[in-house]
Structure 1
Amino acid sequence: MEDKNNAIEVRGLYKSFKISYDKPQTLKERLLFWNRDKVEHKLILKNISLNIKKGETVALVGTNGSGKSTLLKLMTKILYPNKGKLETQGKLTSLLELGAGFHPDFTGRENIYFNASIFGLTRKEIDARIEDIIAFSELEEFIDNPVRTYSSGMYMRLAFSIAINVDADILLIDEILAVGDQHFQERCFDKLTELGESDKTIVFVSHDLGSVEKLCDRAIWIYKGELKADGDPTYVIEQYLDQISIDHQEKRKEGIKKADTMKKRNTYNGVGFIDVPKGYQEVNNDLNHAVFEGWELNEHPQSRIRVEIDGNSLDVKRKDRPDVFVVYDGLYGGFEANDKAGWEVEVDVTKLNPGEHKITLITETPEGQLITKEENVFRVVEVSK
């Protein structure tokens, strides 16, 4: 290590994967078509260099496929780089894949011994910690059942409980906390906060940007395999969201071109584009429902999103920053492009807690090609009675 205060050092890291096409499936095909095995090397990470100091809590952010999980696997030595150097200092434990290191026919208790021993604990050390592991997981009732009978959330509870009790210097987590229920997620984040205030180093991948800002000292943004930003979480998240907005605009431009070609087929599967709303309105949660409506389609799909309460239409505010909790999720079947048609979905406001809520609309071609994705929010306020 160049600096003894660093827990992780990465220098000039490159990682690629070999992708095979037209691979022979049988011995006969291999003998007859031995020269037809087309191979492509796809570069996933490009010249990544960074330091993570002891005691830091760092998030890796980025879109799916950007290389975050690959970088985490390189840190655990599950994968090795094609070029460059990666060093870690201290005992390391990881939560990368749900159920990794568990035997499905072993009970939860047996898997604690099995999994913790992989992390380097002795039988005596596991004996001293097993009650704490079981208590944190809240699986006392199921701990002597085979883990193949566990749900994905129960898997995550057990795996996380083991990982935080092996007393590692470095903890690596890859998105699996999203599997658990809200109560256990809160306990996990409280525990991560506690560990972050100690001398433990935590690196985790997350799409929950609110948690990134709350928990982390730093955020690292990986974009198309390259390190684009590294620093204060709020700053990095702003850069990340700005790029998402730019990418969506590029896709939208491409979508308009594709929409011109789709006119010949005279069909759209979706609800059209959303105009930028004018104002920010509030909806009282003592009303029975709110109606979200889209208006007629023109030559190019254009629609306006409003909230209609008792016949009065109110504009709602567009918010680019994504929310993380979905209340309603549904599809509209589609309509002819030349029809003066629209759509309507009724939302029971009484089921929504006070605060901001989001509605997302997606326009796509019949083949499923994304044309545009737009999001709007409205605020539900509690009425004093």
Structure 2
Amino acid sequence: MNAIEVSNVKKSFKIYYDKGRTLKEKILYADRNKYEKREVLSGISFYVKKGEAVGLIGQNGCGKSTTLKLLTRIIYPDAGTVKLNGRVSSLLELGAGFHPDMSGRENIYINASIFGLSRKEIDRKMGDIIGFSELEEFIDNPVRTYSSGMYMRLAFSVAINVDADILLIDEILAVGDVNFQAKCFRKMQEIKNKGTSIVLVSHSMEQMEQICDRGIWLHKGKIRMEGTTKEIGREYLRYMGVEAGDVCADNERAEERFGTGEARFQLVRSRNLQGEETTVYRSGEPIQFDLEYKVYHELKYAVFGLSIFRSDGIRCYGTNTRVDGIPAYHLVRDGKISIIFDDMRLLPAKYDIDVCIEKEENDFADYQSHLNAFEVVSEEKDIGVMKMPHNWKMTEETS
């Protein structure tokens, strides 16, 4: 049984040009009540399996948030059906369901009860909620004194502790520090593994690829593409690059490079322990990737990222400087950044890499894919993506 089934859903809104606010205005200025009917969703259909995480991505106004509001039954479709199986928890707007004059503790009771928990259930989970939010010092203060990051901590802590079957999240994880974001994603992965279905709306491909099994690209109220987050990400970034008018050099294929161009990679190469450039490495051997870049315009918030893909498109590993806890770089001059893997345990196969320079708003100054093809060789017969250190131990029963 699917956790979510959306079938041929349509949704429109009335957009008033100059609507009268009072009864007097409505009578005296009846012609002000003119409006246009704007269709936000044009017959979309998709499903989410139990324990599956699906990401919705697309430009502003494409219908992502409207879709989540339909799933939470805040609004209802004009046509089509939305079926959900199980308890739903959602994070749609920062601070939604919180009373500013009440304390964090009181708001936990209110918010959790909205999600369907009884007083006893909330009392039992109160410690876990406060502990996860890391707001012990402030939990009895009015939430109007909280920062946006503290709001997000409290809201997320409630939402993920209500034992929901379905979790809906709309862009809220853009708020908060790097460490808490990482903690949130670990928790989301944990509850996903326990069978909770997740629908995540985000403009960040990095967030989607960390948690989602599948992606759905919404474009002008319709589903433009469904597939793996890798496939969706590449097509979406390619489209956004074309829409922004980015121009690649003549010798570059358009689908391999996107970005707004404040800084761009000039040379990407890999080297072995001896410093030699090579395309063949042994499993377990160190490998260093050097990324040389050129700065065309000052970039105040730059994050460098690298992912390794097997030739069949499987992402074997990905990281960036933000995930590794390194503060964002302020790029003014050309330079080079290197990433060293001391013990590359990839199993024999052919690989290539994606590299990027990410900007503050989850946009890319430069994104290049299918670079530096290399091969890993080994006499090992393990199967999978990488070799995991392990030991076998047998214990025989005594007669």
TM bucket by the smaller chain? 0.5 to 0.7
Contact 2:57 2:64 in 1 (8 A): yes
User: What residue number does 1:12 align with?
Assistant: 8
Q: Percent identity?
A: 51
Find 1:163's aligned residue among 159, 166, 187: 159
Retained in 1: the 8 A contact 2:61–2:220?
Answer: yes
* Alignment gaps of 5+ in structure 1: 253-271, 283-289, 295-304, 306-322, 330-344, 361-372, 379-385
How far apart are residue 293 of structure 1 and its match? 5.0
Alpha carbons 2:264, 2:294 under 8 Å: kept: no
Matches of 1:36 and 1:181, distance apart in 2: 46
CA gap of 1:354–1:151, structure 2 versus 1, over 3 A, is farther
Structure 1 partner of 2:216: 220
The answer to whether the Cα contact below 8 Å between 2:294 and 2:335 also exists between their aligned partners in 1 is no
Deviation, structure 1 residue 42:
0.8
Please tell me whether the aligned partners of residues 170 and 200 of structure 2 are also in contact (alpha carbons under 8 angstroms).
Answer: yes
Give the AA of the match of 2:357. Answer: K
The residue aligned with 1:316 is none
**8 Å CA contact retained: 1:9, 1:52:** yes
**Could you tell me which residue of structure 2 aligns to residue 240 of structure 1?**
236
Note the residue ranges of structure 2 that are not aligned, 5 or more in a row.
248-259, 271-292, 299-319, 341-354, 369-399
Computed over aligned residues only, the root mean square deviation of the Cα atoms, in angstroms, reads: 3.5
Seen in structure 2, the aligned counterparts of structure 1 residues 110 and 22 have a Cα distance that, compared at 3 Å, is closer
* Deviation at residue 83 of structure 1 after TM alignment: 1.2
**For 1:305-348, what per-residue CA distance to the aligned partner results, in whole angstroms no more than 9, with x for missing partners?**
9xxxxxxxxxxxxxxxxx9979478xxxxxxxxxxxxxxx8459
- Residues 48 and 227 in structure 1, CA contact (< 8 A), matched pair in contact too: yes
SS in 1 for 2:94: coil
Quote the residue 1:315 is aligned against.
none
Q: How much has 1:246 moved relative to structure 2?
A: 2.7
1:242-321 equivalence runs, <5 A: 242-249=238-245, 279-280=267-268, 292=295
Q: Distance in 2 between matches of 1:105 and 1:97?
A: 18
Whole-angstrom CA distance in 1 between matches of 2:68 and 2:112 = 20
The match for 1:63 is 59
TM-score of the pair, normalised by structure 2: 0.65
CA distance in 1, matches of 2:128, 2:364: 46
Match of 1:375? 365
Alignment CA distance shift 1:174-1:140 (3 Å): same
1:130 maps to 126
Equivalent position to 1:198, from 194, 200, 221: 194
Shift of 1:375: 2.8
Q: Distance in 1 between matches of 2:145 and 2:262?
A: 45
Paired with 2:356 and 2:237, the residues of 1 have a C-alpha distance of: 19
Q: How many residues align?
A: 294
Q: Deviation of residue 37 (structure 1)? A: 2.4
Three-state SS of the structure 2 residue aligned to 1:90 is coil
Q: Which runs of 4+ in 1 moved over 2 A?
A: 22-33, 272-282, 290-294, 323-329, 345-350, 352-360, 373-378
How far is 1:31 from its partner? 3.0
> Displacement of 1:239 after TM fit?
1.8
Do structure 1's residue 172 and structure 2's residue 168 form an aligned pair? yes
Letter in 2 for 1:375: A
Relative to the length of structure 1, the TM-score reads 0.68
The separation in 1 between residues aligned to 2:193 and 2:263, in whole angstroms, is 45
CA distance in 1, matches of 2:108, 2:180: 19
1:100 is matched with 96
Contact 1:14 1:82 in 2 (8 A): yes
**Compared with structure 1, are the counterparts of its residues 9 and 147 closer, same or farther at alpha carbon in structure 2 (3 Å cutoff)?**
same
